[in-house]
Amino acid sequence: MTTVISGHQVASRLRGRFYDGIISEDAVAVVVRAENIVEIAMFLRDDPDLDCKYLNSLTAVDWLDHFEVVYHLSSMVKNHVLTLKARADRTKASLPSVISVWQGAHLQEREAFDLMGITFEGHPAMRRIFLWEGFPGHPLRKDFLALPGGFKPGLQRFPYEFPEGQDQYPYLGRSPHADQVLGTAHLEAEAEPETTGAAGERPVQPTAGLAVPQGDEPGKQAARAGKETDLEVVEHENPDDVP
């Protein structure tokens, strides 16, 4: 059975050489200063009793006032595991890379950078791995909903919880199928002066962005919705005549 080494046990091994580098310890992990992470990681890897030559995973936690990068380590030979944490200042959000200790940290540090915004100094390719360059913010940060410019993703209230005087969702834009469904009628509707609902929100065009129900032709869908359409409705008596 794999043995779990507590943070207290790890701290007792580190304290003789890295006394100033230890911030705290508990039954789960030992927390060290970011500037000491490489030398401590190397000690844990090379110490014959600990032998933590394998980095199981690298992740991060946002504590609002600081970040913690979490390293789950194991020894295949000793069959034990332990948890190491490095605390990083939230304003700077940077600490040294451990690629020189464990090559497996390469992609995992890029993931932490991409989703949490933590920079790993000395990483040979410190760039996003999931999201595109220019993506606004880092989605695993606890303040991600407060994006630059005041933008907030998702609904601003629970579904069907409308402000007073409003009974539809705010206008969110037309889907790629709207031209097929509505023809050109929606262009004329959008050219009309807008009216604002509660809190300055635009009312939804009821049929804007509706997908065509299965088995319906776009022209029939628009006709039933009471909308003008430039699509020709063709009746086929024999289904085999449908092109």
Q: What is the pLDDT along the chain (243 residues), one digit of tens a residue?
A: 999 999 999 999 999 999 999 999 999 999 999 999 999 999 999 999 999 999 999 999 999 899 999 999 999 999 999 999 999 999 999 999 999 999 999 999 999 999 999 999 999 999 999 999 989 889 998 887 765 566 555 555 666 566 777 776 555 444 444 445 445 554 555 555 555 555 555 554 444 444 444 444 545 544 454 555 555 555 556 656 555
Model confidence pLDDT, tens digit, residues 184-243: 554 555 555 555 555 555 554 444 444 444 444 545 544 454 555 555 555 556 656 555
Amino acid at 178: A
69 vs 52: CA distance, rounded Å: 17
User: Which domains, and CATH codes, for the chain?
Assistant: 3-144 (3.30.460.80), 151-231 (no CATH)
- Record the tokens describing residue 62, joined without a space: 């946002």
User: What pLDDT was estimated at residue 206?
Assistant: 47
User: What pLDDT was estimated at residue 78?
Assistant: 96
Of 188, 230, 181, 235, whose CA–CA distance to 208 is shortest? 181
Phi (first) and psi of residue 80, to 5 degrees: -140, 165
Report residue 128 CA to chain centroid gap: 12
Q: Using N-to-C axis directions, what is the helix angle for 37-46 and 7-18, rounded to 10°?
A: 110
User: What pLDDT was estimated at residue 166?
Assistant: 73
User: What pLDDT was estimated at residue 142?
Assistant: 84
pTM: 0.62
41 vs 32: CA distance, rounded Å: 10
